[in-house]
Amino acid sequence: MKKTLIITGGAGFIGSHVVRLFVRKYPDYQIVNLDALTYAGNLENLTDIASFPNYRFEKVDITDSERLIALFKTCQPDGVVHLAAESHVDRSITDPFAFIRTNVMGTCNLLHAAKELWKGAMDGKRFYHVSTDEVYGALTVDGVRFTEHTRYDPHSPYSASKAASDHFVRAYHDTYGLPVVLSNCSNNYGSHHFPEKLIPLAINNIRHNRPIPIYGKGENVRDWLYVEDHARAIDTIFHHGKDGETYNIGGNNEWTNIDLIRLLCKIMDEKLGRAQGTSEKLITFVTDRAGHDLRYAIDSDKLQRELGWQPSLKLEEGLEKTVDWYLANTAWVERVTSGVYQQYYEKQYGK
């Protein structure tokens, strides 16, 4: 069936995997990648599908409501998959307002544009909001995991801004009948991940023999999901999720940061032909992150039971694939960390 979908944040880490999956899997869909190309957005992530006839890129900032309304009028989307966000907790601690602008105001602007365009004709439309498990706060009781009914308890400006956006999405459903669906996912890892986040940062630092900063004692626990598994879950939920519902997505892969980094060091020593134990010497314990949540863990039983999705990789397998990608794409890492990749956009599309 022919459809036009706007995917926001499609030049970022998860968004680029979602765009690639949709463009390749659904040749009848027109996929519009809407992205402001902040430091985290990189069109080089999508060179393999950039010339597909069912793909196009629009450089738009979701904080610009007028541009959004105009774009919605010209594109006439049947659906929105919303991933654009400021996504790094440490940056939210130094600049919370950037998170309020993009994650809260930007999401509200998108909801407004969809509501105005679809007014009186909501059938067959869908607004999919991609969110995080961090809205649920920190787990303190062993064995307990976040379900869709866990009370929101965000602690960082990032998670507070995502929580606020989730509430607005539900409010637009309940108040205006906007057809929405939401998901809250655990920590992702995989290719094209900006090297400020733990795993790609550690891979890059190990390669350059630089210290690997571990916050506090490294006892914090995260539930890691391979990014392509997340993209598949988004596809499943977009097409089969029930109107107004929320689905938790997780990898069932809980690791303390220190155990994860020790495993990564082993893999890196092997791949780089270094003696075992070499990379571990780079581990450096540093001052803890303010408000650092102790443990996240997702119960994704609802998604597995109702929609049949399953994570495909254990962390050990996914981490090795991830390391292989980073070692084969060192030029990508150099370009994203130096900002040179932004010239790629100018070459393709002009200033």
Q: What string of DSSP letters covers 160-172?
A: HHHHHHHHHHHHH
- For residue 305, CA distances in Å to 119, 247, 302 come to 33, 11, 5
By the 8 A CB rule, do 62 and 34 touch? yes
Does the active-site annotation cover 158?
yes
Residue 195 interacting with ligand TYD (CB under 6 A): no
Contacted by 38, from ligand TYD, ligand NAD, none: CB < 5 to 8 Å by type: ligand NAD
Closest approach of ligand NAD to the CB of residue 217, in Å: 22
Question: Among residues 164 and 178, whose Cβ is nearest to ligand TYD?
Answer: 164
Residue in 96, 177, 195, 213 binding ligand TYD, rule: CB under 6 A: 213
- Which is the catalytic residue, given 44, 61, 134, 293? 134
Which residues is 180 bridged to in the sheet? 127
Sign of CA dihedral 105, 242, 71, 50: positive
Question: Among residues 174 and 316, whose Cβ is nearest to ligand TYD?
Answer: 316
Q: What distance in Å separates the CA atoms of residue 212 and residue 204, rounded to the nearest whole number?
A: 9
Q: Specify the length of the chain in residues.
A: 351
Does the active-site annotation cover 134?
yes
Closest approach of ligand NAD to the CB of residue 273, in Å: 30
Closest approach of ligand TYD to the CB of residue 328, in Å: 22
DSSP state of 151: P
Ranges of beta strands (E only) in 70-125 are: 79-82
Q: Which residues touch 198 (CB under 8 Å, ≥6 apart)?
A: 257, 260, 261
Joined together, the tokens standing for residue 83 give: 């991933």
Pick from 170, 102, 17: nearest CA to 33: 17
Helix (H, G, I), strand (E, B) or coil at 127: strand
Residue 139 interacting with ligand NAD (CB under 6 A): no
Q: Which residues touch 9 (CB under 8 Å, ≥6 apart)?
A: 15, 34, 35, 41, 82, 83, 84, 85
Helix (H, G, I), strand (E, B) or coil at 309: coil
Site string for ligand TYD, 234-273 (x = CB under 6 A): -----------------------x----------------
- Which is the catalytic residue, given 133, 254, 293, 299? 133
Residue 197 interacting with ligand TYD (CB under 6 A): yes
Residue 162 interacting with ligand TYD (CB under 6 A): no
Residue 187 interacting with ligand NAD (CB under 6 A): yes
Residue 130 interacting with ligand NAD (CB under 6 A): yes
Q: Considering only 11-19, 67-75, 147-155, 342-350, which stretch makes contact with ligand NAD by CB under 6 A?
A: 11-19
Contacted by 89, from ligand TYD, ligand NAD, none: CB < 5 to 8 Å by type: ligand TYD
Residue 222 interacting with ligand TYD (CB under 6 A): yes
Site string for ligand NAD, 312-351 (x = CB under 6 A): ----------------------------------------
Where in the sequence numbering do the catalytic residues fall?
133-134, 158
